[in-house]
Structure 1
Amino acid sequence: MPENRPGPSTVAAPCGPSRRAVLGAGALGAGLAVFPSVGGAQPATPAPEPRNLVPGALKARLKPEPAPETALWAFDGKAAPPVVRTRHGEPVRLKVENRTNKPLSLHWHGVRNRNAMDGVGGVTQPPIAPGADFTYAFTPPDAGTFLMRPLVVGGSSEPSGRGLAGMLIVEEKVLPPVDRDIPLLMQDWRLDDQAALLAFGQTPFAAASGRLGNLVTVNGRPTPEAIEAPPNARLRLRLANACNARATRIRFDGLKVYVVAVDGQPTDTFEPLRATLPFGPGTRYDLLVDLPSSAVSGAITALIGEGLALASITTRGEPVAGNRSPIGPVGVNTLLPAEVKLQNAVRRDIAITGGARIDKAKPEVEPSYSGDPARIWAMNGVSGAAGQPPLFTVKRGQVVVLAIKNETAFTQGLHLHGHAFRLLHNLDDGWEPYWLDTFQLPEGRTARIAFLADNPGRWLISAAVLERFDTGLWTSFEVA
């Protein structure tokens, strides 16, 4: 860390990423920070007419012929997940018309939203019944790359596993100079030999690693996503993981990339250590890459099996003319607090328990679980369920430090709603120099996160793996 880092009483804005920060990226967590208008009046911008988002049944080709098409769910009758773009400061209105046979709600993963618009069916809103509709109306406080994911208490895994996902891109008021801005949304699918979706609701999956697919797509299409751009072009790549459960690492082959935002929040620019980054469900990265003047062929590879190319990048056509300034930050979010003072923080411990048991003496034996299939996981001994009181309540403006201990046999992906946190070092003597809203907590480990509770409402701390969320791995807190 920088030599002028704060002591244990203060977490300040980063001076720049250190080698330790990049090395520690395997524990990337999510950070949402305070913004002045949270819970208050929204800017007096005229409300636009709502854009319709219509989830419903669709058949699409996920496997090559002669395999049949797959019956899945999609938005607006298109296999490609929607990418909703808006400009920072502009209101968003999205009318969701549910044409599936299951209750739905859409969580705007990473948006520091008004509580009523957070999109957790059964907590912040009633689920949208089949045949009904609901309009999400909010003004995103931050520019950045965000996800839309189904999130209904007890019913998130199936709509996501059937294909419902998308991206919300809030562009900066002053756009960084790039030639192309390319979203790349990863999903995986669990299919049988006839390309049909396998059954949902299986307890062994929920009690272990979650529903891991056997086919990966990017932007709703078979991999790799082919990207062609002129020599000398500067690309902005927005990578997002919308899988139910698959956590992996991604490697950049033949490309020199720079990270400019993590989980939607801008960061000091850095190169990934060993050209790889951790990539768990809910995680997003904004990357900049300058293509050379000569021919190049590069790839973004998921470290699945022997390696799976998610996207290929090749140069083609006439070079982009002119000289560019060096790659630098895409901006600074001035709404994030300059520091989070820990002296008088409210401190709470959270223990994650439950799940299948693993016999380490017999690694060939599948994990086993014999308890209640609806309450597989717990936080502080309680499985999340609609109607439960919050775990704790704090006054608006208080600093909160959570010590989260993973007592299960599996790495846990966790997501904080409504706020930003810093991932603290083990002795509270420093911090990781990025803001996050999702992070991975290995088994047997404890992580400490710090955030300023400045967004009124009831907020979740939830599993990013949706099968675990559906079976109890979440809790909530209230900001009064």
Structure 2
Amino acid sequence: MQRREFLGSIAAASLIPGSSFAQSSRRRLIAGAHRQQILPADYPDTEIWSFDAAFPGPELRARQGDTLSVTVENASPQSTSVHWHGLRLDNTMDGVPGLTQDPIAPGDSFDYQFALPDAGTYWYHSHAKSMEQVERGLYGPLIIDETDPPDVDQDITLILDDIRLERDGTVANFDNFHDLSHAGRIGNLWLANGQIDPAYPLKRGERVRLRLISAANARVFRLGLQGFDGWIVALDGMPLSDPQALPDELILAPAQRIDLMVDVTTDENEAFVITFERDGGYAITHFPISGPSVAARQDRPVLPPNPIYPIDLANARAATLLIEGGAMGGMRAARLNGEELGARELASRGMFWALNGVAGRPDTPLLDLSSGESARIGMANNTAFPHAMHLHGVHFSEVLADGRLGPLRDTILLNPQETREIAFQAHNPGDWLFHCHMLAHHQAGMGTWIRVSA
């Protein structure tokens, strides 16, 4: 099913699910099944698993310094959990079954409550059977406003996704070793906020904070903006001290976020966010331009910094992470649950990837650190596919070729045969997952963890 088959028949719906402002009052989220029209109106609707019968789930909004309290009730067919992606929160609230909590069984609930030290753009999603549950819709945006937010005319969040649907509207099955052993689960339909090419009206001269979130299972989005000038002001929730001029192309890997501050400069009747694919570029969101122009701002926006934890590179503990496996290269053997197995036996168990020769989360951490200690991890992607490596609990910086540290992130993209190094301060005690956010790859072996002792 090709996306362009649908574009001509879609009415421009522009509503993101309703938001709720959370201070210390408790919010309830119900994970369950509902039906929603995703394909055009002349196609069947789709059964989605989502939060509060909305796809994406409702926007949770709070202010930096608040406490977020959410009770998650599980009315879905599978056990689940919720990971608050990118938040530097208490470890017991991180939402990883088997590492920080027990899964929430169908009919049960779990109370999450944690402080919000950082402003920025984050998201929440299932962390149980994630390849399936995130694909089916168990995710939503989480926005933490600055105590003194920047002056903008509009603040628009776009959760970008690709979903694999059959022509009858059903979500395609997940019993697919090709997804596990190749690039991951790639969808056949591109969505923004659960819709095909939604519209958000703007006026010329307006300044817009555009928050881009990737909820894709595996697709690496190559994006361009048409009709805007502006800056990248934050990556993965963390403000840039020196905002970057808007480039011709933005790379947004699974789970990554980019905050843009852009001015509407087009002389045309529409502006666009475009996704570039092999066969061309297609609008994933459009912005009708209407009404009188507003006075353009001249200043370059800079967001206030979040709490900073300095990295001591000279005395950092070092580790390496070798990524192996997958098709078109593969691996001969790896350890699984302490047992050395050959590639054929691993494949029969749905395991195709290994980190440092281990398939699946090992019993011992990659690093065992003391709180306040700095660490650096050199990573080598010895495979034919890209991997988006996500570290829970802390943000890291890439160690650049000249020894400088790049901007803070929580997810970094390693292309095939690429090596990169990250560094961080282990300021947040707990057991923290480190895994590929191509969710099929994580399911098929690409996960490890670090320990930070108080």
The answer for the alignment partner of 2:308 in structure 1 is 336
Give CA-to-partner distance per residue, 1:289-335, whole Å, 9 cap, x none: 12249655211101124122111123212333x563413212222x1
- 1:149 equivalenced with 2:90 (yes/no): no
SS in 1 for 2:440: helix
Give CA-to-partner distance per residue, 1:147-203, whole Å, 9 cap, x none: 112112xx1111111111111100000010011111100121111122211111321
The answer for the alignment partner of 2:325 in structure 1 is 354
Code of the aligned partner of 2:140: G
The structure with the greater share of residues assigned to strand is: 2
Code of the aligned partner of 1:167: P
Q: Is the 8 A contact 1:390 1:477 kept in 2?
A: yes
Matches within 5 A, 1:24-39: none
Alignment counterpart, residue 93 of structure 2, candidates 107, 117, 122: 117
Q: CA deviation at 1:284?
A: 0.5
Code of the aligned partner of 1:398: E
Identity of aligned residues (%): 35
Q: Is the 8 A contact 2:209 2:260 kept in 1?
A: yes
CA RMSD between the two structures: 1.9
Q: CA deviation at 1:257?
A: 2.9
The answer for the alignment partner of 1:5 in structure 2 is none
SS in 2 for 1:73: strand
Q: Which gives a bigger RCO, structure 1 or 2 (Cα 8 Å, sep 6+)?
A: 1
Q: CA deviation at 1:384?
A: 2.1
Take 1:295 and 1:47, find their aligned partners in 2: how far apart are those partners?
A: 41
The answer for the alignment partner of 1:471 in structure 2 is 444
Task: Provide the TM-score with structure 2 as the length reference.
Answer: 0.88
Task: Provide the TM-score with structure 1 as the length reference.
Answer: 0.83
- 1:173 equivalenced with 2:147 (yes/no): yes
Alignment counterpart, residue 53 of structure 1, candidates 29, 34, 39: 29
Matches within 5 A, 1:224-373: 224-267=197-240, 268-273=242-247, 275-292=248-265, 296-304=269-277, 305-320=279-294, 324-333=297-306, 335-337=307-309, 339-357=310-328, 370=344, 371-373=347-349
Q: CA deviation at 1:450?
A: 0.8
The answer for the alignment partner of 2:17 in structure 1 is none
Take 2:138 and 2:432, find their aligned partners in 1: how far apart are those partners?
A: 23
The answer for the alignment partner of 2:11 in structure 1 is none
Code of the aligned partner of 1:469: H
Take 2:127 and 2:119, find their aligned partners in 1: how far apart are those partners?
A: 23
Take 2:127 and 2:300, find their aligned partners in 1: how far apart are those partners?
A: 37
Q: CA deviation at 1:392?
A: 2.6
SS in 2 for 1:116: helix
Greater alpha carbon shift after TM alignment, 234-243 vs 56-65: 56-65
Take 2:296 and 2:385, find their aligned partners in 1: how far apart are those partners?
A: 49
SS in 1 for 2:405: coil
Matches within 5 A, 1:77-156: 77-152=53-128, 155-156=129-130
Q: CA deviation at 1:71?
A: 1.2
Where structure 1 has 5 or more consecutive residues not aligned to the other structure, the ranges are 1-45, 360-368
Alignment counterpart, residue 161 of structure 1, candidates 135, 158, 180: 135
Q: CA deviation at 1:470?
A: 1.3
Alignment counterpart, residue 389 of structure 2, candidates 401, 414, 422: 414
- 1:216 equivalenced with 2:190 (yes/no): yes
- 1:64 equivalenced with 2:40 (yes/no): yes
Q: CA deviation at 1:81?
A: 2.9
